[in-house]
Structure 1
Amino acid sequence: MAGTDAKRIINGTFGSIYLDGKWLSNFTHCQIKDEYNWGEVKLPDDRRTKHKLLGVSGSGTIQGYKVTSELQKAVAENPTRTFEIISKLEDPEAYGKERIRIPQVKFTSNPLVDYTTGEIVEEQWDFVFDGDPEFIDSIEV
């Protein structure tokens, strides 16, 4: 019986994040998701509750080591500015690479200062997005 080839499982080490086309080489974590808002529908002569998609909300987080103040400054100067994020996963042993473009990104906060003496400084950026995600490249067998 054939199963999953373990070497084809994607290693997050080969993930990268681009913000407005610039590689964020110091960022080590990316999570982007769409959440679906389902409404309940009750139909006559049917005990089973049905569901209808009412809306979609996009959000995410990028996280990594603090190296510069560029993003903090850009968001502080214009909190309503929108950005574009491209997430790329390109493990050389995988079946291919995945790139997903997220347009109209708006950061929900600006982590101006967060450090502890004797520790590496990391920063986390939470965001929402209004545009539809675009699969530039997708992994398929």
Structure 2
Amino acid sequence: MSLNPNKVISGTFGRVWLDGALMGEAFGLQAKIEIQKDEFPIAGSLVPGEKITGWKGTGSLKFRKVDSRLISMIGEAIKRGENLEFEILSELADPTAYGAERILYKQVSFNDLTLSEWEVATRGDVEAPFTFRDYKFFDLIQPV
């Protein structure tokens, strides 16, 4: 099968919900699994074997600064030593693609909090890195 350019998913149709609230200001999301493995030698082979021993979920949420949403949600908790956890729902639903993808990230913990960052004549963009401990697939795009 050859590639149909109309079926390539465009991030323009991505949306994000933070704890059930649509973040209209979001313009990017990335979430990854870092697979942790142990290596061990195998007799008679030059290539070691590997066994999965765990995983770590990391990500980054990008959004336009339009309000103090994250500062309000976690600013005071950080000062008390609380590690608040959230849910992030990512949806990518390009109408010309083969389907939509929705993934819920659970037990999300932000790694830092941008209190202030601005520069004259520059759009206010924020990147908020996070970790997550669980995820659930709601919709996946099946191979054609």
CA RMSD, aligned part only? 1.1
Q: Tell me, yes or no, if structure 1 residue 59 matches structure 2 residue 58.
A: yes
What do residues 76-116 of structure 1 show as CA deviations (whole Å, max 9, x unaligned)?
Answer: 12231100001000000011100000000000111000000
Q: Does 1:30 align with 2:29?
A: yes
Q: CA deviation at 1:45?
A: 3.2
Q: Is residue 68 of structure 2 the alignment partner of residue 99 of structure 1?
A: no
TM normalised by structure 1 equals 0.94
Q: Which residue of 2 aligns with 1:135?
A: 137
Matches within 5 A, 1:39-118: 39-79=38-78, 80-118=83-121
Structure 1 spans left out of the alignment, 5+ residues = none
3-state SS of paired residue (1:91):
coil
What TM-score, normalized to structure 2? 0.92
How far apart in 2 are the matches of 1:48 and 1:126?
35
Separation in structure 2 between the aligned mates of residue 127 and residue 120 of structure 1, nearest angstrom: 22
Per the TM alignment, residue 48 of structure 1 is displaced from its structure 2 partner at its CA by 2.2
Letter in 2 for 1:84: E
Cα separation, 1, equivalents of 2:46 and 2:94: 48
Shift of 1:41: 1.0
Deviation of 1:5 (Å): 1.2
Aligned-pair CA distance for 1:4 = 1.4
Cα separation, 1, equivalents of 2:101 and 2:132:
19
Deviates more, 1:68-77 or 1:17-26: 68-77
Percent of residue pairs bearing the same amino acid type: 32
Show structure 2 runs of 5+ residues with no match: none
4+ long deviations beyond 2 Å: 43-48
